[in-house]
């Protein structure tokens, strides 16, 4: 028995060390990559802008019951600082006044010719063009989910690149200019994502972020640090290695021809964003096309984070389920040589997808073994302290990266509050998250459906 | 336990580093603001003298970037006083030294600056930057621009040769580079490159060069384009030539264009219909009307647009236009639409 406990103890410890070790490596890569990217960022954007060389982009906005925010969101999108773009709003059979408020604000004119059925989508009720600006198109369709709405939007899109944006996301005026950089610098780029940040507490007016501020709500503040860590290490760290497997559904730019050629978004998954990126890897590799999927470290999209435990739990359960679905659906990536298939995919599978099971089992085992007297209290304490300390180091290094290159939160008190959140993240929040992720895995196995997954709005953006 | 304590010590170190970075960042921002306040009036000609004989070594990168920002708002002769002010503040030394910087943004700023400042000694390094495939496209294209700014006649052949070897450069990017050269020389150079590529059988490259010509904005290319159109068998090159002819809209090309209205390749017919709308007359109505029954919707659309355009150009009275529209509803539909319908598959 003691021997079994000894082995289990070492397995748990080895898992903890390997997961944190892997994150430290990504951490180091991100430090180097972000530095190089940020040095160039403004200069490159400035030079490109003076010659107007950005490719035209279609901004797709799927909307389900977004009557409260859709008009300011669209107005803000139409004012993006970008030479040539169009906005396509897809109303996914909303039961509220989404269509009516759009019509009242922009004056919609029926224009069915704009719709080209390249991808399957739920039945279309109407396709409209705004009287006030030809850059706004609206598709009204039966309810079919977010992925289905994006496919319908792609049937109206006319530009070579498209950007999928959540209707409740807030962009910065120069978001498109920044995220488009990989497409200009490397014509083989097929997708690029940007860092998403927590909007709660920030000053928003007329659909634009005026000043980032930390949320008053503690749960949201912890998520600020969590998002920093997840995006700066989890995504940016993979970019130079060509191993980006997830681009957030809240903001990502894709080459339309590739996505249409693959059959568009899959409608039978809740993680359509990650699934699309993994399928893009497979698609390009299978055709032996040179390609790149990049990630831009700049914070370019701000989104509402849940401020109550219930909403947060629902969100995390949905995310975990989506990740599991995406990984399972794209397991063929493992047979395709390269960082994406042989390094990033196993990393996601072992540490992000199955990791919560191992980690939770580890916590339970250590506590149970201590209670049974098979493990000393000192060993239990050492294990818990190590888990917390390693997590804190990762959170703090994300904070250091943010402070060095972005400095979004300039108030003197903000740094202290962020440091507090970085510590709090590892004392309770991470463990709670673990439970939700395990539930998400069980939901994936049991096949229980989750819908659009709205977050209850709390910030000024809602107004 | 030791490992946990070590990790906590690491956390503490990171805390200290973060605080230090915040203090340093604040100081850097304040310094950048001060530099902008000091040097902008001089660059704009409001202050006659520079705030210092030459920028401090620590500030030179920021000052050159500021100079470039002011310069980017100016074109041609308007940059002369700014160049003189750069010399006054010894910024040419700064630009030349930053060409060797390890930072890509410094190199980009320096590459752009040396071209406008007219520093002939930079021509060699610029050519190396332009040819280095590992550099970013922005840096390479800016180096090519600077070469043309420095010595347009001498650099044009090198730049054209460079463009030939860059299949991933977008035509708009190529056009923006060639804007720096003398338009007639650039147009002739591009059409020669297109001809050479066609002769070598590199149809894609020939078409790419031809697509650049409208942006170069010199009709000096037309004789070469006509010659190419007459002698090529490639449908891609024919379509590209017809699109150039449509852009420059020289009526002498009408006869040549009519020959391609019945090409077996649909995209050649598309370009021919468009071009005829630009260079034809109302006598072309029957030929264009026949294209309204083409099997390709795009040809039908372009033919309808061409008819509407010719009718409009002929100064037809509204009543006569109404008759044209009545006989050919497509003409009215397409001519009246404020946007281009891209599809015929209706929901």
What is the mean pLDDT, run by run of 10 residues, along chain A of 463 residues?
76 83 89 78 70 85 91 90 92 94 92 85 93 90 94 94 89 88 88 92 82 92 92 85 91 94 92 93 92 87 91 92 93 91 93 89 84 82 83 88 85 86 88 92 79 52 39
| pTM recorded for the entire structure | 0.80
Nearest to A225 by CA among A20, A435, A437, A424: A424
Question: Which single residue is written with the structure tokens 């043309």?
Answer: B148
Instruction: Supply B23's token pair.
Output: 């203090």
The answer to whether the Cβ–Cβ distance between A114 and B341 falls below 8 Å is yes
Is the four-CA dihedral B69, B75, B76, B81 of positive or negative sign?
A: negative
Nearest to B7 by CA among A105, B94, B15, A355: B15
Question: Which single residue is written with the structure tokens 């999209």?
Answer: A301
Residue B25, phi then psi, degrees to nearest 5: -65, -40
Give A389-406 pLDDT, tens digit per residue: 888 888 888 888 888 888
Residues of A in contact with B3 (CB under 8 A): 382, 386
Give the pLDDT confidence score for residue B217 in this predicted structure. Answer: 80
Mutate to test the interface with A, among B112, B116, B138 (most CBs of A within 10 A): B138
Give percent of chain B above pLDDT 70: 89
Give the mean model confidence (pLDDT) for residues B215-231.
91
In this complex, is the C-beta atom of B172 within 8 Å of any C-beta atom belonging to chain A?
yes
Give the pLDDT confidence score for residue B1 in this predicted structure. Answer: 67
Residue of A113, A117, A396 lying closest to B11 (CB–CB):
A396
In this complex, is the C-beta atom of B33 within 8 Å of any C-beta atom belonging to chain A?
no
Residues of A in contact with B136 (CB under 8 A): 40, 44, 185
Band (B320; pLDDT cuts 50, 70, 90):
low
Q: Where are the beta strands (DSSP E) in A93-188?
A: 108-110, 124-130, 136-141, 161-165, 170-171
In total, the C-beta contacts within 8 angstroms joining chain A to chain B are 123
In this complex, is the C-beta atom of B21 within 8 Å of any C-beta atom belonging to chain A?
yes
Residue B201, phi then psi, degrees to nearest 5: 85, 10
Instruction: Supply A389's token pair.
Output: 């300390």
Q: What ipTM is given for this predicted complex?
A: 0.72
* Region class of A308: left (phi > 0), else alpha (psi between -120 and 50), else beta: beta
Residue A171, phi then psi, degrees to nearest 5: -105, 165
Instruction: Supply B250's token pair.
Output: 């020289």
Residue B265, phi then psi, degrees to nearest 5: -95, 125
Give the pLDDT confidence score for residue A285 in this predicted structure. Answer: 93
Residue B105 C-alpha, separation from nearest chain A C-alpha, in angstroms: 5
User: Contact A236/A33 with Cβ under 8 angstroms?
Assistant: yes
- For residue A209, the cross-strand partners are A204
The answer to whether the Cβ–Cβ distance between B347 and A115 falls below 8 Å is yes
CA distance A426 to A308: 18
In this complex, is the C-beta atom of B347 within 8 Å of any C-beta atom belonging to chain A?
yes
Give the pLDDT confidence score for residue A95 in this predicted structure. Answer: 93
SS3 A156: coil
- Cβ neighbours for B335, distance < 8 A, ≥ 6 positions apart: B304, B305, B308, B309, B312, B325
Residues of B in contact with A427 (CB under 8 A): none
Residues of B in contact with A43 (CB under 8 A): 65, 104-105, 108-109
User: Contact B67/B51 with Cβ under 8 angstroms?
Assistant: no
Q: Is residue B339 predicted with pLDDT exceeding 70?
A: no
Instruction: Supply A368's token pair.
Output: 């149970």
CA angle B119, B125, B130 (to 5 degrees): 110
Q: Is residue B331 predicted with pLDDT exceeding 60?
A: no
Give the pLDDT confidence score for residue A113 in this predicted structure. Answer: 75
Residue A81, phi then psi, degrees to nearest 5: -85, 90
DSSP per-residue codes, A230-263: IIIIIIGGGGGGT------TTEEEEEHHHHHHTT
Q: Is residue B135 predicted with pLDDT exceeding 80?
A: no
Give the containing element (helix H, strand E) for A191: strand A189-198
Give the pLDDT confidence score for residue A111 in this predicted structure. Answer: 84
The answer to whether the Cβ–Cβ distance between B4 and A415 falls below 8 Å is no
What is the b/e burial string over A101-116, where b = at least 16 CB atoms within 10 angstroms of the residue's CB? bbbebbebeebebbbb
Give the mean model confidence (pLDDT) for residues B210-233.
91
Q: Is residue B334 predicted with pLDDT exceeding 70?
A: no
Instruction: Supply B79's token pair.
Output: 């940059």
Residue A83 C-alpha, separation from nearest chain B C-alpha, in angstroms: 13
CA distance A455 to B88: 59
Residue B133, phi then psi, degrees to nearest 5: -70, -15
The answer to whether the Cβ–Cβ distance between A39 and B142 falls below 8 Å is no
The 3-state secondary structure of A111-125 reads CHHHCCCCCCCCCEE
In this complex, is the C-beta atom of B23 within 8 Å of any C-beta atom belonging to chain A?
no
In this complex, is the C-beta atom of B1 within 8 Å of any C-beta atom belonging to chain A?
yes
Give A41-72 pLDDT, tens digit per residue: 777 777 776 666 788 999 999 999 999 889 98
User: Contact A244/A238 with Cβ under 8 angstroms?
Assistant: yes
Q: List the helix and strand counts (H, then E) for chain A.
A: 16, 12
Query: Which residue from B minimizes the CA distance to A136?
Result: B339
CA atoms within 13 A on the CB side of B244: 33
User: Contact B239/B267 with Cβ under 8 angstroms?
Assistant: yes
Angstrom CA distances, B146 to B93, B97, B259, stand at 17, 16, 42
Report helix, strand and coil shares of chain A as percent, to nearest 5.
55, 15, 30
Residues of B in contact with A392 (CB under 8 A): 7-8, 11
The single-letter DSSP state of residue A160 is S
The single-letter DSSP state of residue B332 is H
Q: Is A305 exposed, middle or buried (0-12, 13-18, 19+ CB in 10 A)?
A: buried
CA distance A114 to B345: 9
The answer to whether the Cβ–Cβ distance between A400 and B18 falls below 8 Å is yes
């Amino acid at each position: 028995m003691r021997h079994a406990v000894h082995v289990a103890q070492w397995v748990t410890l080895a898992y903890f060390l390997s997961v944190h070790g892997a994150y430290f490596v990504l951490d180091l890569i991100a430090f180097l990559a972000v530095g190089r990217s940020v040095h160039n960022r403004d200069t490159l954007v400035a030079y490109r802008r003076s010659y107007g060389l950005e490719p035209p982009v279609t901004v797709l906005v799927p909307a389900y019951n977004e009557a409260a925010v859709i008009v300011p969101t669209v107005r803000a999108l139409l004012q993006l600082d970008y030479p040539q773009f169009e906005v396509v709003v897809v109303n996914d059979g909303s039961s509220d006044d989404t269509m009516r408020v759009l019509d009242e604000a922009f004056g919609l004119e029926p224009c069915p010719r704009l719709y080209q059925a390249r991808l399957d989508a739920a039945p279309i009720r109407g396709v409209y063009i705004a009287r006030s600006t030809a850059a706004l198109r609206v598709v009204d369709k039966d309810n079919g989910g977010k992925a289905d709405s994006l496919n319908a939007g792609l049937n109206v899109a006319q530009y070579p690149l498209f950007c999928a944006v959540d209707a409740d996301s807030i962009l910065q005026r120069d978001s498109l200019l920044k995220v488009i950089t990989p497409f200009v610098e490397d014509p083989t780029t097929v997708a690029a994502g940007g860092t998403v940040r927590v909007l709660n507490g920030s000053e928003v007016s007329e659909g634009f972020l005026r000043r980032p501020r930390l949320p008053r709500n503690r749960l949201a503040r912890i998520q600020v640090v969590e998002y920093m860590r997840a995006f700066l290490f989890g995504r940016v760290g993979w970019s130079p290695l060509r191993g980006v497997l997830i681009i957030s559904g809240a903001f990502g730019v894709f080459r339309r021809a590739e996505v249409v050629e693959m059959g568009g978004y899959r409608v039978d998954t809740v993680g359509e964003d990650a699934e699309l990126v993994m399928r893009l890897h497979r698609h390009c590799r299978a055709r032996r096309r040179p390609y790149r999927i990049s990630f831009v470290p700049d914070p370019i999209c701000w989104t509402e984070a849940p401020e109550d435990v219930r909403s947060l739990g629902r969100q995390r359960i949905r995310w975990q389920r989506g990740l599991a679905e995406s990984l399972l659906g794209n397991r063929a990536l493992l047979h395709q040589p390269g960082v994406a298939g042989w390094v990033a995919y196993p990393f996601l599978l072992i540490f992000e997808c199955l990791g919560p099971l191992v980690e939770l089992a580890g916590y339970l085992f250590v506590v149970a073994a201590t209670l049974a007297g098979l493990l000393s209290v000192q060993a239990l304490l050492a294990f818990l302290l190590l888990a917390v300390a390693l997590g804190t180091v990762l959170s703090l290094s994300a904070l250091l990266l943010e402070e060095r290159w972005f400095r979004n939160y300039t108030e003197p008190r903000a740094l202290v509050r962020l440091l507090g959140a970085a510590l709090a993240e590892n004392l309770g929040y991470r463990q709670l998250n673990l439970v939700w992720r395990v539930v998400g895995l069980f939901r994936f196995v049991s096949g229980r459906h989750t819908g659009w997954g709205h977050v209850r709005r709390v910030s000024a953006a809602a107004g | 336990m030791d490992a946990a304590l070590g990790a906590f010590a690491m956390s503490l170190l990171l805390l200290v580093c973060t605080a230090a970075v915040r203090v340093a960042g604040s100081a850097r921002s304040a310094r950048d603001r001060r530099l902008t306040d000091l040097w902008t009036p001089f660059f704009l000609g409001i202050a006659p003298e520079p705030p210092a004989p030459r920028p401090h070594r620590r500030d030179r990168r920021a000052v050159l970037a500021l100079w470039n920002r002011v310069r980017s708002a100016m074109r041609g002769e308007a940059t002369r006083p700014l160049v003189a002010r750069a010399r006054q503040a010894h910024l040419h030394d700064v630009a030349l030294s930053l060409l060797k910087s390890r930072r890509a943004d410094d190199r980009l700023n320096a590459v752009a600056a040396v071209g406008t400042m007219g520093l002939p000694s930079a021509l060699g390094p610029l050519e190396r930057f332009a040819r280095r495939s590992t550099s970013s496209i922005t840096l390479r294209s800016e180096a090519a621009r600077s070469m043309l700014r420095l010595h347009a006649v001498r650099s044009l052949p090198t730049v054209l040769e460079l463009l030939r070897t860059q299949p991933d450069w977008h035509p708009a990017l190529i056009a923006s580079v060639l804007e720096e050269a003398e338009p007639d020389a650039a147009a002739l150079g591009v059409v020669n490159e297109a001809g050479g590529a066609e002769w070598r059988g590199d149809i894609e490259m020939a078409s790419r060069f031809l697509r650049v010509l409208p942006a170069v904005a010199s009709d000096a290319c037309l004789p070469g384009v006509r010659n190419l159109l007459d002698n090529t068998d490639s449908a891609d090159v024919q379509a590209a030539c017809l699109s150039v002819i449509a852009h420059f809209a020289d009526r002498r090309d009408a006869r040549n264009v009519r020959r391609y209205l019945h090409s077996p390749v649909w995209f050649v017919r598309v370009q021919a219909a468009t071009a005829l709308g630009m260079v034809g007359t109302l006598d072309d109505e029957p030929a264009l009307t026949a294209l309204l029954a083409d099997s390709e919707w795009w040809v039908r659309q372009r033919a309808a647009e061409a008819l509407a355009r010719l009718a409009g150009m002929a100064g037809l009275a509204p009543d006569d236009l109404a008759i044209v529209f009545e006989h050919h509803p497509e003409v009215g539909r397409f001519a009246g639409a404020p946007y281009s319908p891209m599809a015929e598959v209706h929901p």
